[in-house]
Amino acid sequence: MNPMDSAKPSDANIQLMQLTNAFWTSRCLHVVAEIGVADHLNEKSESTDSLARSTGTHPESLYRVLRLLASQGIFAWKDGAWVHTEASRLLRADHPASMRDYIRMIGMPVFWHAWEELEYSVRTGRTAFQKIHPAGVFTYLSEHPEQSRIFNASMTSKAHRDIAAVLPAYDFSQFKTIADIGGGRGHLLRAILKQSPNTNGILFDQPHVIAEVQPEPAEKLSVVGGNFFTDRLPAADTYLLMNIIHDWDDADSIKILSGIRRDMPAHARVLVIETVVPTTHGPHLSKELDIAMMTLPGGKERTQEEYSKLVSHCGLRLNRVVETQSPYSVLEMLAG
């Protein structure tokens, strides 16, 4: 039978339509997070007019955007007014596991414009973001404080799930000193220190990022601002690199890891925390993140074999890969 004869669309047609249009919903999510709609909805229900007044938005347009999000369980319409759902509560800035800054960061115009240039990356092998801003993501952020603040907050926001999975997967309490290289605001390291009272932490990141971090008096945390390409790195028993190596191509990754190998004591371990691309087909977060890395910072997600080969150029060897209850793994490397 000619598929055109059937009034019912095929599963393949439905799949393509859904995937093609998926960004319509995610774009609504970005905008609602940016405007802070969830922060203006408390535990009592609010009419569209009242929410529009408090958020400075156009009532009918806000209603239509929230109606689409509510169809996916983000906010709900009850008795003629808006109420929170579990998912919409995570859009609030004051939720302990808030996703707001992560969603804002993904929707930031500077990144959104880079996605418009994905075809350039596919045709040339170059980084889409750098077609517009040749100095690259991290230089751009260092020159744009408000966007940098959202980016740094977004790393904490996205890490809630990953940290919860990484902590029970590896015994961090065995180390006297842990250095988190490119640790952002220190969310991973601080979570480790909280459960390992005998461990000292050193947070290393760019000076403008470190400036956002204020260790509590009770925390055994010191902070160091610097550049992991050019500066000496602090001495530690273990070096954490979460979502660092995937930001960079092989040449830059080798520079970062070789710098650590140069400065680390011989007994130290390097723990790279990343998604590892499985060799099987089928969906995996690593395959999505990989395209984000291709488009934005110019890095990539790697298979276990690719990590093993990469680190062999840095005086390190991949000792083992510890899986977690999330798509993230801990790749343990030793001098070798």
Ligand X SMILES: C[S@@+](CC[C@H](N)C(=O)[O-])C[C@H]1O[C@@H](n2cnc3c(N)ncnc32)[C@H](O)[C@@H]1O
Residues near ligand X, by CB under 6 A: 138, 155, 159, 182-184, 205-206, 209, 227-229, 242-244, 247
Rounded to a whole number of angstroms, the minimum distance from the CB of residue 183 to ligand X is 5
In this structure, are residues 4 and 48 in contact, taking their beta carbons and an 8 Å threshold?
A: no
Judged by beta carbon, residue 45 or residue 147, the one nearer ligand X is 147
- Beta-strand relationship, 200-205 and 221-225: parallel
Cβ distance to ligand X smaller for residue 121 or 259? 259
- Closest to ligand X by CB, 88 or 299: 299
User: Is the Cβ of residue 46 or residue 162 nearer to ligand X in the bound state?
Assistant: 162
Q: What is the DSSP letter of 196?
A: -
In the complex, least distance from residue 163 CB atom to ligand X, rounded to whole angstroms: 9
Taking alpha carbons only, the member of 102, 103, 82, 100 closest to residue 91 is: 100
- From the candidates 30, 40, 84, 246, give the one annotated as an active-site residue: 246
CA–CA dist 80, 32 (Å, integer): 20
Q: Between residues 206 and 324, which has the closer beta carbon with respect to ligand X?
A: 206
To ligand X, the closest distance from the beta carbon of 160 in angstroms equals 10
Q: Helices then strands (H, E): number in the chain?
A: 15, 9
Q: Among this protein's residues, is 187 annotated catalytic?
A: no
Cα atoms in the 13 Å half-sphere on the side-chain side of 60: 0
Provide the minimum distance between the beta carbon of 133 and ligand X in the complex, in angstroms, as a whole number.
15
Q: Give 90 or 159: the residue with its C-beta nearer to ligand X.
A: 159
Task: Tokens for 167, please give them.
Answer: 């902590």
Q: What is the Cβ-side half-sphere exposure of residue 272, based on CA atoms within 13 angstroms?
A: 29
Nearest distance, CB of residue 52 and ligand X, angstroms: 35
Q: Say whether 279 sits in a helix, a strand or coil.
A: coil
Task: Compute the least distance from the CB of residue 148 to ligand X, in Å.
Answer: 8
Provide the β-strand partners of residue 81. Answer: 78
Question: Rounded to an integer, what distance in angstroms lies between the CA atom of residue 147 and that of residue 124?
Answer: 28
Angle, in degrees to the nearest 10, between helices 11-35 and 59-70: 130
- Shortest Cβ distance from residue 233 to ligand X (Å)? 10
Query: Which residues, at least 6 apart from 75, have a Cβ–Cβ distance to it below 8 Å?
Result: 37, 38, 41, 66, 69, 82, 83, 84, 85, 88
Nearer to ligand X, 67 or 287 (CB): 287
Whether 100 contacts 89, CB under 8 Å:
no
How far apart are the C-alpha atoms of 195 and 81, rounded to whole Å? 43
Terminal alpha carbon distance of the chain? 63
Q: Which active-site residues does the annotation give?
A: 246
